[in-house]
A and B are shown apart, each in its own frame.
Chain A
Amino acid sequence: DGGITQSPKYLFRKEGQNVTLSCEQNLNHDAMYWYRQDPGQGLRLIYYSQIVNDFQKGDIAEGYSVSREKKESFPLTVTSAQKNPTAFYLCASAPGQGLRGELFFGEGSRLTVL
């Protein structure tokens, strides 16, 4: 089935450790996005990518990094510089011209930093 796969679903890490969240899509979508969802804060944009080998910072990019080496993959690294990394992370993708902006979401990854 076509869709977006995020892994792991749950992740626990110690403070000071970097962690990488995986996001893979087989929808052949051009654009991919990472959001962070916190209670009462809605979804806040971390990074997004419209095309392979290119990505832009969102509103809360500090302490995060991404890569887009393949169309179907957009991993997010939460670095030790991120001051409050415990959160629910959502990956999304969107198709190309004419349907842009209609996001398809993964199930999310819940990161807890101990």
Chain B
Amino acid sequence: AQSVSQHNHHVILSEAASLELGCNYSYGGTVNLFWYVQYPGQHLQLLLKYFSGDPLVKGIKGFEAEFIKSKFSFNLRKPSVQWSDTAEYFCAVMRDDKIIFGKGTRLHILP
């Protein structure tokens, strides 16, 4: 079945640690890729997106993600996390007008 997989369900890091959250998808062909973030008590909001072009995309708050087509991956990275990055992160894939989300990764940053 077509799906979006996020490898880590819950990640705990200390401030200033580096972050990488994995995302793989199983769709073939052209896809658009997204990372969304849900801060505690807030709406889901877009963190970054990839439609085409440079596979390394930069988003808000110092986040970036790299699209590796051969690996069907779109991992999210941040070199140095802050306590305010505590949130739930969702990878999503758009294919044929459907936008499918992964199960999410809950990130907890220790001050």
Contacts and interface: CB of A to CB of B under 8 A. Distances in A.
Interface of A: 31, 33, 35, 40-45, 48, 50, 56, 58-59, 90, 92, 94, 100-103, 105-107
Interface of B: 6, 9, 32, 34, 36, 43-46, 49, 51, 90, 92, 94, 97-104
Given A42-B90, A42-B104, A101 B99 contact: yes
Contacts, number: 57
Looking at chain B's contact residues, the main secondary structure is: strand
Contacts of A103: 34, 36, 44, 46, 92, 99
A107 B36 CA distance: 15
A43 B43 CA distance: 13
Contacts of B43: 105-107
A41 B49 contact: no
Nearest to A90: B44
B46 A102 contact: yes
A9 B100 CA distance: 24
A58 B102 contact: no
A101 B52 CA distance: 13
A106 B92 CA distance: 17
Contacts of B101: 35, 42-45
Contact of B102 (A42, A59, A101): A42
A105 B97 contact: no
A109 to B, nearest CB: 13
A102 B103 contact: no
A45 B44 contact: no
B44 A48 contact: no
Given A33-B99, A101-B32, A40 B45 contact: no
